[in-house]
C-alpha cells in the first residue's frame, strides 16, 4: 500500500510540475513570477524619494529638466513680422490654422494692416460637407466590402473628422475661396466640435446603412447615388444649425494703407488750439476717420482670395523626413483627400537636414513655413519650450525608456498630430540652433502663443514641411517628378 501511495504522490508531483510549466509557457503571470518580482524590488533612497514625490505631484513637474529651462532664451537672429495669434480651441483644425498662418502675412503686408484673421469656420463648414460627400461615395464604392474590412473600419470610425493635411487646405481654398473672420465668426460648435462631430458621425453611419440596404435590395448603384442628395441635405442642415450658413458674397472694408492713427506729435500740436479750432478739428477728425477706411466693397470668397492673397498654392509641395522608408521615395497616402475629386496627401522622403536647409532658405526670404510634427513629447505649454529630454522620465523611474525616431513611429509611439508654422530661426555661425514656432493654441499658452523649438526637438519630432517648388534643390525636384507609391491610410507615418 505504501508503495502504491508513493507512486501516486510521484505522479501527482510530476503533474504539478508539468502544469506549472505549461502555465508559464502559456504566458500567464504566475504567482511564482509575482513573488520573484516583489522580492527583487528594492526600495532604495532614490526609489523612496521618487515614490514620495510622484504620489504628491505630477510626473511632468517632477521630470522637468531644470537645466534646459534655466539655459533657455527666446532670442532669434531672424524673425518674420506677424500679427495676432489664432486659437483653434477644442477642435482638430490645426492644419487649417497653420495653412492660414502661412498666407496671412500676404494680406497683412499687402494692405499694411495692424491685424487680420481669416474665417476658419467658413472653410471648416465646407471641409465637413466635402468629407461627408467623400464618405458617402466611399460607401458606394466599397458597397461589397465587409464591415470589418480595414478600410471600412477606418471610414466608419470617424466619418467626417476635424483633422486634415496641407493638400486638403489647398483644395478647399481653391474651390471655395476665403473670407475675413468678421464676415463669418466662430460659434460654440466650431470651437468645441465634439458634439457636432458626434451628430454628424451618427447621421453618416445611418446613411451608410441605408445605402448598403438599397444595394442589397436592388443591386443598383444608380439608386444608391439617387439617395445621396437627401443625405447631403441632412448634413448641410446639421452644419448650418451648428456653424451658420456660409456667405456667397459679403461686404468688407479695411484700414486704408498709410492711414495710421494720428501720432503723439500731431496730437501735441493741437493742445494749444483755441476752443473754436478744437471744434473745427473735431469735424475734421470725424471726416478723417472716414478717410482712414477703404471704400465698402462686395466680394465673393473667390474674388477676395484672388485680390488679396493670389498665391498658386498648388505650387507648394510636401517634403518629409520618413524614417521608416528609403530616402528618395515619392509616396501618396490613400483616402486622405477631403474632396472626393481632390488630392491625397503626398510627399517626397528626404534626409532631415534637407528639411532644415529648406526652412532656413524660406525664412530668410521672409516667408513662413507650414510644418507638421508630433507635438506630444518634450514640450511645455507654459514656457513655450520644445527640447529633447525636457522631461527626463528615465531619471525619475531609473529605467531605460529610449526609442529612436524610426522605432517610435513603427511601434505607434509617435505620429504626426499637429500642424504649425515656422516664423523664425536663430542661426549661430550659419547653423540653426533653435526655431520660432507660431502655434494655434491662443496667446495664453507658450510665450504669447509662440514656441521655441530647439534643433534636437526638430530632429526627433518634425516630420514634414511645405515649401514652394522653386525652393527645392534639383535632386528633390527629380524625386517629385517620379510616380507616387501608394500607402494605406493606416500607415504609421500618417
| Residues annotated as part of the active site | 94, 418, 439
Q: Report how far residue 348's alpha carbon sits from residue 49's, in angstroms, rounded to the nearest whole number.
A: 48
Determine whether 143 is exposed, middle or buried from the number of CB atoms within 10 Å of its CB (0-12, 13-18, 19+).
middle
Q: Which residue has the cell 496730437?
A: 267
Distance of CA 117 to the CA centre of its chain: 18
DSSP secondary structure letter of residue 272: T
Identify the helix (H) or strand (E) that includes residue 230. Answer: helix 221-243
CB–CB of 288/86 below 8 Å?
no
CB–CB of 291/297 below 8 Å?
no
CB–CB of 331/322 below 8 Å?
yes
DSSP-assigned letters across all residues of 131-157: HHHHHHHHHHHTTTS-TTSHHHHHHHH
Q: Report how far residue 472's alpha carbon sits from residue 478's, in angstroms, rounded to the nearest whole number.
A: 10
Count of other CB atoms within 10 angstroms of residue 106? 16
Pairing status of strand 450-454 against strand 385-386: parallel
CB–CB of 178/304 below 8 Å?
yes
DSSP-assigned letters across all residues of 347-409: EEE--HHHHHHHHHHHHHTT--EEEEE--SSSEETTTTEE-TTSB-HHHHHTS-----HHHHH
Identify the helix (H) or strand (E) that includes residue 317. Answer: strand 316-320
CB–CB of 12/4 below 8 Å?
no
Q: Which residue has the cell 471641409?
A: 127
Q: Which residue has the cell 503723439?
A: 264
Local structure of 485: helix, strand or coil: strand
| 91 phi/psi in degrees, rounded to 5 | -140, 160
List of residues 6+ apart from 101 with CB closer than 8 A: 82, 86, 368, 370, 420, 421, 438, 440
Local structure of 451: helix, strand or coil: strand
List of residues 6+ apart from 35 with CB closer than 8 A: none
CB–CB of 369/466 below 8 Å?
yes
Amino acid at each position: 500500500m505504501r508503495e502504491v501511495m508513493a507512486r501516486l504522490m510521484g505522479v501527482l508531483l510530476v503533474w504539478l510540475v508539468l502544469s506549472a510549466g505549461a502555465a508559464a509557457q502559456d504566458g500567464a503571470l504566475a504567482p511564482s513570477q509575482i513573488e520573484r518580482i516583489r522580492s527583487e524590488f528594492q526600495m532604495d533612497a532614490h526609489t523612496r524619494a521618487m515614490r514620495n514625490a510622484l504620489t504628491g505631484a505630477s510626473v511632468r513637474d517632477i521630470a522637468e529638466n531644470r537645466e534646459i529651462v534655466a539655459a533657455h532664451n527666446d532670442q532669434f537672429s531672424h524673425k518674420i513680422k506677424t500679427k495676432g495669434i489664432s486659437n483653434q480651441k477644442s477642435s482638430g483644425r490645426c492644419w487649417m490654422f497653420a495653412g492660414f498662418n502661412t498666407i496671412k502675412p500676404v494680406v497683412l503686408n499687402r494692405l499694411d494692416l495692424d491685424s487680420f484673421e481669416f474665417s476658419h469656420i467658413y472653410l471648416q463648414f465646407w471641409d465637413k460637407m466635402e468629407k461627408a460627400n467623400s464618405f458617402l461615395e466611399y460607401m458606394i464604392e466599397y458597397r461589397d466590402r465587409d464591415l470589418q474590412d480595414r478600410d471600412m473600419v477606418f471610414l466608419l470610425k470617424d466619418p467626417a473628422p476635424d483633422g486634415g493635411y496641407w493638400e486638403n487646405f489647398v483644395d478647399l481654398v481653391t474651390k471655395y475661396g476665403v473670407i475675413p473672420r468678421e464676415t463669418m465668426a466662430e460659434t460654440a460648435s466650431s470651437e468645441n466640435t465634439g458634439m457636432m462631430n458626434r451628430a454628424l458621425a451618427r447621421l453618416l453611419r445611418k446613411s451608410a446603412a441605408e445605402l448598403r440596404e438599397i444595394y442589397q435590395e436592388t443591386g443598383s448603384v444608380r439608386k444608391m447615388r439617387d439617395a445621396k442628395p437627401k443625405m447631403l441635405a441632412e448634413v448641410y442642415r446639421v452644419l448650418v444649425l451648428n456653424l451658420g450658413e456660409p456667405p456667397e458674397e459679403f461686404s468688407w472694408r479695411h484700414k486704408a494703407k498709410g492711414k495710421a492713427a494720428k501720432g503723439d506729435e500731431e496730437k501735441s500740436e493741437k493742445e494749444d488750439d483755441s476752443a473754436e479750432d478744437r471744434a473745427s478739428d473735431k469735424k475734421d477728425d470725424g471726416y478723417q476717420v472716414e478717410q482712414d477706411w477703404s471704400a465698402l466693397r462686395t466680394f465673393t470668397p473667390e474674388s477676395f482670395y484672388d485680390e488679396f492673397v493670389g498665391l498658386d498654392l498648388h505650387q507648394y509641395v510636401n517634403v518629409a523626413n520618413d524614417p521608416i522608408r528609403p530616402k528618395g521615395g515619392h509616396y501618396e497616402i490613400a483616402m486622405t483627400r477631403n474632396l472626393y475629386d481632390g488630392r491625397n496627401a503626398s510627399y517626397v522622403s528626404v534626409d532631415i537636414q534637407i528639411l532644415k536647409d529648406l526652412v532656413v532658405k524660406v525664412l530668410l526670404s521672409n516667408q513662413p513655413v507650414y510644418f507638421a510634427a508630433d507635438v506630444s513629447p518634450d514640450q511645455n505649454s507654459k514656457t513655450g519650450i520644445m527640447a529633447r529630454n525636457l522631461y527626463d522620465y528615465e531619471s525619475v523611474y531609473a529605467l531605460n525608456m529610449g526609442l529612436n525616431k524610426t522605432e517610435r513611429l513603427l511601434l505607434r509611439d509617435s505620429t504626426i498630430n499637429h500642424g504649425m508654422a515656422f516664423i523664425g530661426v536663430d542661426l549661430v555661425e550659419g547653423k540653426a540652433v533653435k526655431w520660432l514656432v507660431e502655434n494655434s493654441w491662443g496667446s495664453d499658452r507658450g510665450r504669447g502663443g509662440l514656441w521655441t523649438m530647439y534643433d534636437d526637438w526638430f530632429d526627433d519630432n518634425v516630420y514634414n514641411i511645405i515649401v514652394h517648388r522653386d525652393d527645392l534643390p534639383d535632386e528633390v525636384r527629380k524625386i517629385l517628378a517620379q510616380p507616387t507609391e501608394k500607402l494605406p491610410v493606416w500607415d504609421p507615418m500618417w
